[in-house]
Amino acid sequence: MIASGVLGGGIGERAWWLNTQVDRFYSRTDPEQHVLEIAAELGLGGPGVGLLTAADVNRVTAAEDGGVRAVATVGLGLPVRAAAPDDELAAGYVPGTINVLVVVPVPLSDAALVNLVITLTEAKTQALGEAGVPGTGTSSDAVCIACPATPATPAATAGRPEPFGGPRSVWGSRAARAVHRAVADGTADWLRRVTTDGGYLVPESDLG
C-alpha cells in the first residue's frame, strides 16, 4: 500500500485498512495511538493503515472500473484551494475530510504508486469542480492505494510490477474513473444534506 494516513503512511506491505469516524470537534493529540486502539478492538493484527474522518462512514460511496475498486467518504465542511494565499487559510481548521481507498488487482512499482496518488487526486478534484465545490479538496484529505505485493499469476504482469500510474495508463485511467465516480456520488450526497452552522457547511445529521 501507499498511504497518507495518520497510521501506516508511506509505502510498504500492510495487512488492513481502517477508516475511523470521529467527532467533528475531535481533539486527541495522539491519533496514531487512537487508531491502534480501535484496530486492537476489532482484532486487526499486523501493520495496517488508519485514517480519521469527521464524515459519516456509513454513507460510504463506491465504484468499480475494469477490476479497480474505489471507496470514498466525503465531508466538505471547509473546502480549500490547495494554492490559496495565507490570508485565505486564516479561518482555521475544520474537519471535513475526503478519504479515498483504491484497490488495484495487479502489482504496481513504487513509482507507479506515487504517480497514481497524483492521478487520483486529480480525479477527486475534477469531481469537486464539476459539483461546484469551491476548493480542490479539504485540508485533511487522505488516500490509500492497495495492490498485491506479487502477481496472482506470473503471466499477469510478466513477472514485473506495472511501471505506470498516470491518467492515460491502463490502471491509472481505470482508477481515476472509479475515484471520480465515488467522490462525485459522495459529494452529491453530502451537498443534498448540508445546512449552515456558524458559517460552515455541515450535514444536518451532525448537528443532532
| pLDDT tens per residue, range 9-31 | 999 999 999 999 998 778 888 99
| pLDDT tens per residue, range 51-80 | 999 888 999 999 999 999 999 999 988 788
Average model confidence (pLDDT) across the chain: 88
Q: In this structure, is the dihedral angle defined by the CA atoms of residues 94, 17, 181 and 21, taken in order, positive or negative?
A: negative
Q: What is the largest CA-CA distance in the chain?
A: 57
Beta strands in 15-140 (DSSP E): 16-21, 48-53, 61-65, 68-74, 79-80, 98-103, 137-138
pLDDT of residue 14: 96
Q: How far is CA 107 from the centre of its chain?
A: 20
| pLDDT tens per residue, range 81-127 | 899 888 776 555 555 799 999 999 999 999 999 999 999 999 999 99
